[in-house]
Amino acid sequence: MVKPILEPEFLPAIIELRKFNEDVKKYENRQHLIVAVERANGYVYRREFDIFPDGVDDERNTFITERLIKTILWVIGGFKIYIAGSHVVYKNIKDYYRKGGLREFDYDFWSTTFEREVEVLEATYENIPAEVPSSEAAGGHLDGKRIGFDAGGSDIKVSAVIDGKVVSSEEIVWLPKLNEDINYHYENIYKALKVGVERLGGDVDAVGISTAGVIVTDRPMVSSIFIKVPKKDFELVKYAYVNSVNKLAKELGHPIPYVVANDGDVTALAGAVDLKDNCVLGISMGTSEAGGYVDHNGNLPGWFSELAFVPVDFNRNAMVDEWSKDFGVGCKYLSQDAVIKLVDRAGIEVDPKLTLAEKLSYVQSLMANDDERAKKIFETIGVYLAYALAYYAEFYEIKHVILLGRVTSGKGGDIILNTAKETLNKDFPEYAHFHLTMPSESMRRVGQSIAAASLPMIK
């Protein structure tokens, strides 16, 4: 196993899962567990695996099952969890997913997202729901005058596109994570849209918006972008994109078709368009980690792909995410947080008064000058990425992985990419066929806003 140079105690999820499976095989009377997770419109995801017999190692059975259910929730999404095959595991998981339980954050998040309480139900092999997959057509519409809008944690990227040709792409600084006033969010979103209209010559036919968060009917039901907004105001701020486009439509005197999509899905779409192929997993390594996926049919499977909260490190002493209160989740390994958490281990002193984005830029400036300490940070993240991809492959059919986001900029991004390839080739030859790539430097920074422009159809 390749160890991350700055975090040798890293316990990759895929390695621990495979060890568990091998150890379980030693028991002839092992039990078969089925987990089914239901989400909106009756769609169901199922996973089946063997566990130790009840009473042999209930703690390990529960730990692995809990990590897999957590992964399913953040990859696929869901509000109803069925468990068949172990009453002990069922009781433990049920106790986790409740108010005051170990996974209260996840319980609250998905209850809020689907506007119904998350449930954990015991089932039998006979009555547990069957798999019901979904597939939704991706964007690809480029006719007319379009605005592609990518709302990040540090800036809004706005692209003006006319009949598939990009006429303007620019970044507008904003600090949404530091502002609780919903007027701040409304004003900046509308201002950015107006910039796009100006670049298009004063009118627009369609608007596609890429944003962090879980999106349901064009609304971010939960979003790190609006993390400072008080709960009492969130019902208003989740309509900020929709209301801003409608305000613009009223001003211009005609309807404006729009689509609001998760930034990870737009990353995958950007990758599929760029590569002219399918089975594309897009990962945006920026303020947080976002994911998205285009399946073998060239469609979006309707999954949420919130990889920021997918556990990739099973070391229980791993860094805890401040928001979810869970350990070992992706946002601490494949985002700017990963760079910042490693600076002390690398022996780099960073001014604590700098913003998170400025700290990342400082480390990247060191890397631009071939600083060996900075190099170790990006090599470590490259190893994280390789093991994360091997784990993601348990859930996604992957041919291509396209990386975007600020962390992938400059020499550091090249080191991440090359280290990940080397690690996959060494430890996972079965995944050596993965095509890992990054677009041009400008595409890395504004690619999502350009792809977002293609989301809505002009009727």
pLDDT along the chain (459 residues), means of 10: 96 98 97 96 96 97 98 97 98 98 96 94 98 83 93 89 91 91 96 97 96 85 88 91 97 96 82 84 88 88 91 97 95 96 97 93 97 98 98 97 90 97 97 87 61 89
Strands of the sheet with 165-173, listed across from one edge: 165-173, 155-162, 145-151, 206-211, 258-262
DSSP state string for 84-150? ES-HHHHHHHHHHSSTTSTTHHHHHHHHHHHTS--EEEE--TTTSPPPB---EE------SEEEEEE
| pLDDT score, position 443 | 54
Task: Judge whether 284 and 404 are in contact, CB under 8 Å.
Answer: yes
| pLDDT score, position 75 | 96
Neighbours of 34 (CB within 10 A): 18
Question: Going from the N-terminus, what domains does the chain have, and what CATH number goes with each?
Answer: 13-122 (no CATH), 136-264 (3.30.420.40), 273-451 (3.30.420.40)
Cα(410)–Cα(368) distance, integer angstroms: 7
At residue 79, what are phi and psi to the nearest 5 degrees?
Answer: -130, -5
Encoding tokens for residue 410? 């400059």
E strands, 128-205, in order? 136-137, 145-151, 155-162, 165-173
Encoding tokens for residue 277? 């192929």
Cα(221)–Cα(239) distance, integer angstroms: 9
Pairing of strands 145-151, 155-162: antiparallel
